[in-house]
Amino acid sequence: MFGPENLPYGVAAPPGGAPRCVVRLHDDAIDLSAMRLPVPEGTFAAPALNPFLALGRATWEATRASLIEQLEAAPRFPLDGAELRLPVQIGDYVDFYSSIEHATNVGRKWRPDNPLPPNWLHLPIGYHGRAGSVVVSGTPIQRPHGLRPSFGPTEQLDVELELAFITGPPGTRVATGRARDHVFGFALLNDWSARDIQSFEYRPLGPFLGKSFATSLSAWITPLQALEPYFVPARAQDPEPAPYLRTQGDHALDIELEIELNGATISRTNSKHLYWTFPQQLAHATVNGARTRPGDVYASGTISGPTPGSEGSLLELGTGFLNDGDTVVLKGSAGSVSLGEVRGTVAG
């Protein structure tokens, strides 16, 4: 895993050193700031990938080709003992609700007579999250407090198995056919949820304190180019989406995903089950004139599959909620391309 067909991007600090932009090769970090690459001088000087993401698809692809040519002699340091940071400075964070299995499963618990909202099949539902609460994988998770309806720490702390995409050049009203020009890559994401707080507060305006306390993001962004071999046909949509949401070609990702709780795998699913795909999510998020920026994070929402054991949250699995000290690890891979992991331990 993490071989030359992968080469995910991140930010890492070697022991005693400053953080810098890197690419992962096996268990080493390649120092991008110390290489001759087809980017403007200083692109990798800051400890965040935003300047590189802003350069666009042609530069991303040229840089990847140059990296592959120079791999043997590339300057590197071992990741063992290195500190991993958030790979981007996040300006905006959007969380969608794109799995019809997840939406139906949750709807049956909270709205048994009407599991899917009437608009669900017509557009990718989402909400604007709190960018400042996104933390890198491995960060301890504090149990949030809120009204549930009595005030106190959540008694229903949950996980959400998600796949996020990270945008590059600024853009607005991004057509589905242009999504690849604006999406740099993908990363695993866990949108931790306090279900008791969420269920008490979510009507009429949706998620707030039940979601905004912590969201864990992988330290590694897998470039879209590495995942091109794993695009497959998306599932059929009925009714047919509005014209701005229609797509052509393969745009669902065949990525195997799993949830591990305290060392035991409790769920396995695949991102190809998503009803709304990333070009549709981006088109919908920008159709009103909203702009993307380098480093913005757009999450899929919980990914659940159609069979028992493929649910993407504890609420659906029916296994109970998280206890203090529990460790959750989300994993993902597509063939020989690993998306790494998202890890978090409930600190209490």
> pLDDT (tens digit, 9 = 90+) per residue, 175-215?
999 999 999 999 999 999 999 999 999 888 989 999 999 99
Short-list 289, 31, 10, CA closest to 174: 289
What are the distances in angstroms from CA 29 to CA 40, 76, 95, 317? 21, 5, 30, 37
pLDDT confidence of residue 177? 98
Q: How far apart (Å, rounded) are the C-alpha atoms in residues 318 and 311?
A: 10
pLDDT confidence of residue 1? 81
5 C-beta neighbours (distance < 10 Å), count: 11
In terms of DSSP H, where are the helices of the chain? 50-53, 57-70, 100-110, 179-182, 195-201, 224-227, 278-286, 314-317
Residues 6+ apart with CB under 8 A from 87: 9, 10, 11, 48, 49, 166, 187, 217, 219, 220, 221
The burial class, CB within 10 Å (0-12 / 13-18 / 19+), for 159 is buried
The catalytic residue among 26, 102, 122, 284 is 102
Q: Which fold has domain 93-345?
A: Fumarylacetoacetate hydrolase; domain 2 (3.90.850)
pLDDT confidence of residue 224? 98
Residues 6+ apart with CB under 8 A from 127: 94, 95, 206, 207, 211
Q: How far is CA 324 from the centre of its chain?
A: 24
Q: How does pLDDT run across 106-148, given as a tens digit for each residue?
A: 989 878 888 998 999 999 999 999 999 999 999 999 999 999 9
* Domain boundaries, given as residue ranges, for the chain: 9-85, 93-345
- For the chain, the first-to-last Cα distance in angstroms comes to 33
Please state the pTM of the whole predicted model.
0.97
pLDDT confidence of residue 241? 98
Q: How far is CA 313 from the centre of its chain?
A: 15
Q: How far apart (Å, rounded) are the C-alpha atoms in residues 248 and 244?
A: 12
Short-list 242, 243, 280, CA closest to 122: 242
Residues 6+ apart with CB under 8 A from 345: 140, 141, 325, 326, 327, 328
Place of tokens 């949250």: 313
Query: 171 has which bridge partners?
Result: 292
214 three-state secondary structure? coil
237 C-beta neighbours (distance < 10 Å), count: 17
Per-residue pLDDT of the chain (348 residues; tens, 9 = 90+): 899 999 999 999 999 999 999 999 999 999 999 999 999 999 999 999 999 999 999 999 999 999 999 999 999 999 999 999 999 999 999 999 999 999 999 989 878 888 998 999 999 999 999 999 999 999 999 999 999 999 999 999 999 999 999 999 999 999 999 999 999 999 999 999 999 999 999 888 989 999 999 999 999 999 999 999 999 999 999 999 999 999 999 999 999 999 999 999 999 999 999 999 999 999 999 999 999 999 999 999 999 999 999 999 999 999 999 999 999 999 999 999 999 999 999 998
pLDDT confidence of residue 165? 98
Place of tokens 């009204």: 147
Q: How far apart (Å, rounded) are the C-alpha atoms in residues 224 and 166?
A: 10
pLDDT confidence of residue 318? 96
pLDDT confidence of residue 256? 98
Q: Which fold has domain 9-85?
A: SH3 type barrels. (2.30.30)
CB-based contact 161:302 (threshold 8 Å): yes
Short-list 336, 7, 316, 56, CA closest to 183: 56
Q: Does the active-site annotation cover 251? A: no
